[in-house]
Amino acid sequence: VVILGVALVAFARSGREATAAPRLGDHWHTAYDIYVCDTYRAKIVNEADPNGIHTHGDGIMHIHPFSSLASGKSATIGEFFAAFGGMIDDTSIRLDTGETITEGADCGGEPTVLKVARFDAQDRDRAPQVITDDLADVRFLKNLEAITIAFVPEGVEPPAPRAERFTFLETVDPRAITSGTPDAPPTTAG
């Protein structure tokens, strides 16, 4: 009886994790930018899409998993970078151009550190969540987020992505579907 109970609990937990959003068939969009010291960098243009997280070179991360490798807890910024052959860890990123940017560069007399700032694209007045650890594992939590991957000094908050990224995000196909959870508001056209 005890063994059966433990097995049922383990099965229930694994099922819950497998259905965490974004789910297979969801179609989310996240505006993003890469910011180094005081300059926004170019958009990633490599459109490779092995598992369902990619870009179209438009400054938007398109999250529509068609593999469990890019859904639920596996829907991460690390998966986005891996899709185009890039990389992100806690101190550096490798872009689709092959360029590697590493923290520690001088920025106004101070060394930079790598941070990921998560903004709510539908409530831009809300302060961002700034993350400095386990950056490859930063998950996409809902549709219509905005993320800045930034190399800035320790006490500096990363800026939001450029305004045109938000504008483009607002024009993304309003028919995009979500899993309908409270954490996944539907895409709207503006």
The DSSP call for residue 19 is T
11 vs 129 pLDDT, higher one: 129
Burial class (CB in 10 A: 0-12, 13-18, 19+), 92: middle
Alpha-carbon distance of 102 to 116, in angstroms, equals 14
**Band of residue 174 on the pLDDT scale cut at 50, 70, 90:** low
Model confidence, pTM: 0.81
Alpha-carbon distance of 76 to 181, in angstroms, equals 18
pLDDT digits (tens, 9 = 90+) for 9-66: 555 544 444 568 999 989 999 999 999 999 999 999 999 999 999 999 999 999 999 9
Closest CA to 42 of 57, 31, 29: 57
Alpha-carbon distance of 84 to 61, in angstroms, equals 12
Alpha-carbon distance of 81 to 136, in angstroms, equals 8
**Band of residue 7 on the pLDDT scale cut at 50, 70, 90:** low
- Cα 4 from chain centroid? 38
